[in-house]
Amino acid sequence: MPDTILVVVEQREGKLNRVSWETITAGQAIAAATGWPLEAAVVGSGVNSIASEVAGKKVAKVYDIESPKFEPYTPDAFAAGLRQFLESRQPKLVLMPHTYQVRDFVPKLATAMGRTVISDCVGFKHEGGKLVFTRQMFQGKLAADVSFSSDAPWFVTFQNGAFRGDKAEAGAAAAVETVNVEIADGVIRNKPQEVFKEAKQAVDLTQAEIIVAVGRGIKEQKNIEIAKNLADALGGDLAASRPICDSGWLPMDRQIGSSGQTVAPKLYLALGISGAIQHIVGMKGSRAIIAVNKDSEAPIFEIADYAVVGNLFDIVPPLIEEVKKAKAGS
């Protein structure tokens, strides 16, 4: 059997998670580099239409892996069902998006098979016949090239935004094969309840043109006022990284990042934000990023257009005055 690449797309409650297209793009790029054929799979109950949607992309084949026990999602069912499928097809490389759902079941699946997952990757390299996967370490301060030293299947998850979903190549409708898997009674131990949204999100930052965001560097709750004044002067919205909202200094609906909102304003002004991966994924699409941080090695500077290495408490007050002056003059 030739080495194949399998992309497992993500569906939740019968809807394709759009981040899956990014994983298809990644799979197509690895297929082009290695010459290995690319296949895709969807896991669920009654998800044939999703399989057909994926079959419109340039893939050799799409598997619709079905069991009534896949709905609602549980890690027990997904790991057991996928394991059956993978042991019968034996792909070389299994790719998935690094979503909360995948994080929940893929380490279990790999462990059950005596395999490993290189998780949260941002790229790959194929050099001298060897595949390595690039991932961020130490909250993005360093990067690592990581290789597999185990047998296949090799599991890899890709960070949200690492590949462009809109670059997934279309193809001539690939064949869809339905594979029914058996999940024995007693395998599923968790009983999930309905998915719900907490309080209605009061603040929609996704439409904001200017965002002033604060991180740990703000030090104390009372200092939030300084950032608020800057946001007001600029006519922008105030936002924060997760630790600020965890501390209750700003409400959760002001949070930017993987567990908060994803934004792409004209200007993102990051004050005292180090730039942990979970924050970066929520704002790296901003048109311009200004970062103020006293740590010159803060990862936020990697993606900043303008970098100010310094104490935000020294820099923000004169900045507010200058912005006010400029506005008054215009």
Q: Which of residues 176-215 bind another protein (CB under 8 A)?
A: 189-198, 201, 209-210
User: Minimum distance between the CB of residue 37 and another protein, rounded to whole angstroms?
Assistant: 24
Stretch touching another protein by CB under 8 A, among 24-32, 46-54, 72-80, 87-95: 72-80
User: H-helix or E-strand containing 23?
Assistant: helix 19-34
Among 34, 116, 126, 228, binds another protein (CB under 8 A): 116
- In the region spanning residues 94 to 113, those forming contacts with another protein, defined by CB under 8 A, are 99-101, 103-105, 107-108, 111-112
Nearer to another protein, 99 or 223 (CB): 99
User: Minimum distance between the CB of residue 44 and another protein, rounded to whole angstroms?
Assistant: 17
Any idea which residue has 């044939």 for tokens? 48
Phi, psi of 86 (to 5 degrees): -65, -35
CA distance 278 to 116: 23
Stretch touching another protein by CB under 8 A, among 20-28, 85-93, 163-171, 283-291: 283-291
Q: Does 117 bind another protein (CB under 8 A)?
A: yes
Phi, psi of 119 (to 5 degrees): -100, 155
> SS3 for 284?
coil
Partners of 176 in the beta sheet?
62
Work out the angle at residue 311's Cα, subtended by the Cα atoms of residues 295 and 330, and round it to the nearest 5 degrees.
Answer: 120
CA distance 296 to 219: 18
Residue of 71, 115, 60 lying closest to 93 (CA atoms): 115
- In the region spanning residues 261 to 280, those forming contacts with another protein, defined by CB under 8 A, are 266-267, 274, 276-277
User: Minimum distance between the CB of residue 177 and another protein, rounded to whole angstroms?
Assistant: 28
Nearer to another protein, 16 or 176 (CB): 16
Nearer to another protein, 200 or 222 (CB): 200
Nearer to another protein, 130 or 225 (CB): 130
Q: Does 75 bind another protein (CB under 8 A)?
A: yes
Q: Do residues 228 and 238 lie in contact, with contact meaning Cβ atoms separated by under 8 Å?
A: yes
Nearer to another protein, 60 or 303 (CB): 303
User: Minimum distance between the CB of residue 7 and another protein, rounded to whole angstroms?
Assistant: 19
Nearer to another protein, 61 or 228 (CB): 228
Among 173, 246, 251, 285, binds another protein (CB under 8 A): 246
Nearer to another protein, 79 or 214 (CB): 79
CA distance 276 to 241: 9
- In the region spanning residues 298 to 327, those forming contacts with another protein, defined by CB under 8 A, are 298, 301-310, 314-315, 317-319, 321-323, 325-327
CA distance 193 to 129: 47
Q: Do residues 327 and 233 lie in contact, with contact meaning Cβ atoms separated by under 8 Å?
A: yes
Any idea which residue has 């395999």 for tokens? 115
- In the region spanning residues 25 to 64, those forming contacts with another protein, defined by CB under 8 A, are none
User: Minimum distance between the CB of residue 68 and another protein, rounded to whole angstroms?
Assistant: 19
Q: Do residues 254 and 231 lie in contact, with contact meaning Cβ atoms separated by under 8 Å?
A: no
Q: At what angle do helices 100-112 and 75-89 cross, to 10 degrees?
A: 50
Residue of 255, 210, 257, 262 lying closest to 235 (CA atoms): 210
Q: Does 84 bind another protein (CB under 8 A)?
A: no
Q: Does 172 bind another protein (CB under 8 A)?
A: no
